[in-house]
Amino acid sequence: MGRARWVISLGVGMLWLSMPGGDALANSCEQSAAPPVVSVRAEINPASYDFTRGIAQLSADGNSVAPRHLPEFKYTLGTTAMASNPQWETTFSTRTRSDGTLCWKVERLQITVKVHTKVYIATEAVKGSCLWTETMKHEAKHVKIDQTIFPRLADTIRPSIVRKIARTHFAQNQAQAERDADKLMRTAIEGAIESFLRKRNKTQLSIDTAEEYSYISHVCGNAEVAAAVTRAGLR
């Protein structure tokens, strides 16, 4: 039980618009009163399943969120992760100053976040067995929670992103502006999604109670659980 690491991949498209030039103080740019136009859309996809990891690997995953505070917790038989793939398109404006340096800012940002739950079931839980069935049932509860959480992703991450990208920035040249813009977008979007992930994990952890965690042993018997742990080489 518990949840595994966050899986994320990134994609980006950029469009630069040149604006009439003007002077400003060295290494500084006048701040625009107009905030960037930011839209965020979450594309929620069905859960996917991974049966290739063993109990030892799942239990040792330091990035997983599991009820380690419970005295009953010893091993991870199943877990879920939030798999996220943000894609974005950005329009920037630049002003070339008299000394050839630039002031640039984000004018428009469109983000689509593809997100789904990835379920991991330990290889030692033999498919069709009581242990496999009950572990799948438990992880299905986490999938159901994600289905209520994921629709809130767009509205949750948008304010943080707007705050982080609203400034006008200075750059020595176009190449630096493009590098800085790429870093800004990735940092803002990754940070917002990571914050959402922490909230998601906290909510998910709320159902991993002592009663829930001991339920599988109660239904399937300690012997079946012990046999799986033995197959994993942990006894």
Mean per-residue pLDDT, 61-83: 86
Residue at 1 is within a domain: no
Q: With a cut of 60, say whether residue 10 has pLDDT above it.
A: no
Whole-number pLDDT of residue 194:
96
Residue at 88 is within a domain: yes
Q: How far is CA 101 from the centre of its chain?
A: 36
Contact 227, 168 (CB under 8 A): no
pLDDT in tens, 18-57: 555 554 444 678 877 688 999 999 999 999 999 999 999 9
Q: Which residues pair with 112 in a beta bridge?
A: 41, 87
Residue at 60 is within a domain: yes
Residue at 189 is within a domain: yes
The label of the residue with tokens 């994320």 reads: 8
Residue at 2 is within a domain: no
pTM value? 0.84
User: Residue 168 corresponds to which amino acid?
Assistant: T
In three-state secondary structure terms, 71 is coil
The label of the residue with tokens 């002003």 reads: 95
Residue at 187 is within a domain: yes
User: Residue 193 corresponds to which amino acid?
Assistant: I
Q: How many domains does the chain have?
A: 1
The Cα–Cα gap between 29 and 171 comes to 10
User: pLDDT-based confidence at 213, cuts 50/70/90?
Assistant: confident
Size of the chain in residues: 235
**Mean pLDDT of all residues belonging to the chain:** 87
Max CA pair span of the chain: 78
